[in-house]
Amino acid sequence: MIHYTSPLLGFAAYSGTGKTTLLKQLIPQLRDAGMRVGVIKHAHHQVEFDRPGKDSYELRKAGAGRVLLATSRRWALMVDEAEEQEPSLPQLLERLGTSVLDLVLVEGFRHLAFPKIELHRTSLKKPLIFPEDSSVIAIASDARIEQETELPRLDLNAPLSIADFIREYCESYPARPSGFTSLP
């Protein structure tokens, strides 16, 4: 089990709902409130982080299993795994270095049980996630949700109020969460 102290909050939604768009709006709000925010984004497809012709790309393609690229303001570690396997959220949290963050936002890993806000866009005509996922702590929708729930309801089109909810959530977050489980 991974131990971390930063509040962790995911966003559960179907593709096309606007998870990344919302995160791009929330992060500046949270940063302006003095929070140090990290993000883990899980992609279901292969992504190339580097490009041909760059030294780090050429060194990795020459066989270096790990290349750390560093400048005076940022660094990136590129790791080629020997075998293709999905990373686990606890592994990624460990690599992120959560001890220097006030909050970790997660886009992806929807099927793990950890605190999440469900994002629901009615035009997509997708089912609600919260009835099957007890780790959803709030619902942000672009329209009224008819299904009964005691979960807080947020306006998907009001990122400032969602940021306020997240700040309140962080203030009440337990110091050491118990871990992660897969949802049935």
pTM of the model: 0.85
Q: Is the pLDDT of residue 45 over 60?
A: no
CA atoms of 42 and 80, how far apart (whole Å): 16
**pLDDT tens column, 157-172:** 999 999 999 999 999 8
6 — pLDDT class (breaks 50, 70, 90): confident
**pLDDT tens column, 72-111:** 998 888 888 888 888 888 888 888 888 889 999 999 888 8
Q: Is the dihedral of CA 49, 91, 112, 100 positive or negative?
A: negative
From 155, 144, 156, 149, select the one nearest 133 (Cα to Cα): 149
CA atoms of 132 and 26, how far apart (whole Å): 26
Mean pLDDT for the chain overall = 87
9 — pLDDT class (breaks 50, 70, 90): very high
Q: How do the domains of the chain map onto residue ranges? A: 8-42+87-182, 47-85
Q: Yes or no: is domain 8-42+87-182 CATH 3.40.50.300?
A: yes
